[in-house]
Amino acid sequence: MKWFKHETDAHTNLKLQCVIDTHGAEAFGFYWICVELVGLQGENFRLKSEKNWKNYLKKFSGLSIEKIETLLTFFSDTKLIDKKALFKGILYIPKLEERQDEYTKKVRRVSGHSPDNIPLEENRRDKKRIEENRRDKKRIEETAIDSPKSQALKFFSNLTTQEEVLNNLLIAKSNVPEEWLRKEINKFVNYWTEPNKSGTKQKWELEKTFEISRRLAKWLNNSQEWNKGRSPTEITSRMAQV
């Protein structure tokens, strides 16, 4: 590939904005080095491990291997490069197909593509890019550090976070037995982390919205209603029988 298209507003792409916000302009420049390298040395928009492309990136960028690994992992998480390919040691940038020069495009054209319908094809790709940006924006909003989804993921996947929640609740609910509260939190976690039939998602991920503080408060209130009239000692005693 002799050249590729680089729009002047590329930096406004949501994925690349996320790169800049998280790792700075250095990471933005490093991404385009990856694109250039794949365009120059790659085949089918891929660079295989035997081409030793990571060492080339290290030499060309001046970054450490550790930094390069961190950036590549981030690029794969934001879908700027292919995650499965990276796991196999391959640098694959699917989007490069849309940025290839006209000569390369004609050489690689598939049935139905010709110079006459290239504008139509680019229009289709523009629409696809807009839709992908919309999905990216939604994903970034959902995975923001303070988003309900991010908080729920942290709670269900981190025992330390669960312990912190327990301690905070013990302070707020000083008359509630720790044993009862701990068991209710464990039941809450076990219930909502049950996987679906395909094993791809947990029960809480299937909910349209999921805010830990509200869900847990409702769970505990419902449990306390069920145990209404019993003393903390009776509740603890009953728990021992379950």
> What is the pLDDT at residue 239?
41
Give Cα separations from 242 to 66, 219, 227, 238 (angstroms).
50, 18, 14, 7
pLDDT range class, residue 2, cuts 50, 70, 90: low
Sequential DSSP letters for 176-202: S-HHHHHHHHHHHHHHHT-B-TTSSSB
Is 105 among the domain residues?
yes
* Alpha-carbon torsion, ordered 212, 214, 219, 223, to 10 deg: 140
H or E segment to which residue 226 belongs: helix 212-226
pLDDT range class, residue 121, cuts 50, 70, 90: low
Is 5 among the domain residues?
no
Predicted confidence (pLDDT) at residue 115 exceeds the cutoff of 50: no
Predicted confidence (pLDDT) at residue 114 exceeds the cutoff of 50: no
Answer positive or negative: Cα dihedral of 169, 174, 175, 177.
Answer: positive
Is 2 among the domain residues?
no
180 and 85: one domain?
A: no
> What is the pLDDT at residue 240?
40
- Domain span at residue 50 reads 10-142
Q: Environment class of residue 184 by beta-carbon count within 10 Å: exposed (0-12), middle (13-18) or buried (19+)?
A: buried
Mean pLDDT over residues 9-24, rounded?
Answer: 83
Q: Are 41 and 47 in contact (CB under 8 A)?
A: yes
Predicted confidence (pLDDT) at residue 190 exceeds the cutoff of 90: yes
181 and 109: one domain?
A: no
User: Phi/psi of residue 70, each to 5°?
Assistant: -60, -45
Higher pLDDT, 141 or 16: 16
Predicted confidence (pLDDT) at residue 118 exceeds the cutoff of 60: no
The predicted-structure confidence for 56-91, as pLDDT tens digits, reads as follows 899 888 899 999 999 999 999 989 899 999 999 999
pLDDT range class, residue 169, cuts 50, 70, 90: confident
Q: Percentage of the chain with pLDDT > 90? A: 23
> What is the pLDDT at residue 44?
84
> What is the pLDDT at residue 107?
47
Q: What is the mean pLDDT of the chain?
A: 79
**Can you state the angle between helices 159-172 and 178-192, rounded to 10 degrees?**
140
> What is the pLDDT at residue 122?
59
Is 4 among the domain residues?
no
Task: Please tell me the distance from the alpha carbon of residue 63 to that of residue 41, in angstroms, as a whole number.
Answer: 20
41 and 75: one domain?
A: yes
pTM over 0.75: no
Residue identified by tokens 């690994």 is 69
153 and 135: one domain?
A: no
Task: Please tell me the distance from the alpha carbon of residue 22 to that of residue 184, in angstroms, as a whole number.
Answer: 37
68 and 101: one domain?
A: yes
Partnered with residue 202 across adjacent β-strands are 195
Is 197 among the domain residues?
yes
167 and 228: one domain?
A: yes
97 and 37: one domain?
A: yes
37 and 99: one domain?
A: yes
Structurally, the chain folds into a number of domains equal to 2
Contacts 24+ apart (CB under 8 A), 144-153: 148/209, 148/210, 148/211, 148/212, 149/210, 151/211, 151/212, 152/204, 152/210, 152/211, 152/212
Task: Please tell me the distance from the alpha carbon of residue 170 to that of residue 182, in angstroms, as a whole number.
Answer: 10
Mean pLDDT over residues 96-119, rounded?
Answer: 53
Residue where one domain finishes, among candidates 117, 142, 167:
142
Higher pLDDT, 203 or 225: 203
Partnered with residue 47 across adjacent β-strands are 91
130 and 153: one domain?
A: no
Mean pLDDT over residues 195-218, rounded?
Answer: 90
110 and 172: one domain?
A: no
117 and 160: one domain?
A: no
Is 111 among the domain residues?
yes
